[in-house]
Structure 1
């Protein structure tokens, strides 16, 4: 398994701005989901933010499997993509809402591994 996966997703920002396009980089080894305003900004190293994944709880919408949440440190992030890319659990602690270790499914448009 590659240690990095990248691709575009929409991230919920707030009621005024709604869903915003972002370029995401999932780094299993670092346990981080970093995001950028564009792929070009990612290439230039201009990160907009990141979500720490160690101890995170992943939730996938029951009605729309392209929408999911990541809850960590009592903060919930909302994401949306077009198709699911599934992989075995990375070497970090991800749990489902039931509290069990889970196979993480990420809605990544490109699903490319870097």
Structure 2
């Protein structure tokens, strides 16, 4: 590794260490723990590149993914509302779960590093959907 590249990697690590408490504070105050989660998952990209690690953030009903945790400031690579999606666990791959967009034409294939982590993500996504659907119902009931 070149010296400049090593120096940049160290700067990125120090920057992440500085901003992580702020990110944690934001997430702890903005959402209940059940509808908030973040971590590294593998995302299926295509047959040429296969599975690629991505930093994934669930904040309320929004799921966003980034190239890496250190690149959150550059913006997400994709995001969507999970309330309109279906979550499927894979029947044979115990690390994988799929998020199916409305109409089934687009699917986000994700893999966790363990079955426990997969279960945590599936529960958090399901809870997020339920919370958001409950909030929508409350809004509709009060506006009638």
Aligned to 1:14: 46
- The number of equivalent residue pairs is 90
Corresponding residue of 1:79: 110
For residues 21-59 of structure 1, the C-alpha deviation after alignment (integer angstroms, 9 at most, x for no partner) is 10000012xx111010010011x2421111321221111
The structure that is helix-richer by fraction is 2
- Contact kept in structure 2, 1:55 and 1:92, CA below 8 Å: no
Matches for 1:60-99 after TM superposition, within 5 Å: 60-73=89-102, 74=104, 75-83=106-114, 84=117, 85=120, 86-87=123-124, 89-90=127-128, 91-93=131-133
Give the gaps of 5 or more residues in structure 1: 94-114
Greater gyration radius: 2
Alpha-carbon shift at residue 82 of structure 1 (Å):
1.2
What are the ranges of 5 or more consecutive residues in structure 2 without an aligned counterpart? 1-31, 134-144
Flag the 1:65–1:92 CA change in 2: closer, same or farther, 3 A.
farther
Structure 2 length normalisation: TM-score? Answer: 0.56
Task: Classify the secondary structure of the residue corresponding to 1:89.
Answer: helix
Tell me, in whole angstroms, the C-alpha distance in 1 between the residues paired with 2:127 and 2:36.
13
Aligned counterparts of 2:111 and 2:94: Cα–Cα separation in 1: 9
Residue 71 of structure 2 aligns to a residue in which SS? helix
Q: Tell me the TM-score normalised to structure 1 length.
A: 0.70
Distance in 1 separating the partners of 2:77 and 2:43? 12
1:27 has 2:55 as partner:
no
Greater RCO (CA < 8 Å, at least 6 residues apart) = 1
Select 1:5's aligned residue among 37, 44, 67.
Answer: 37
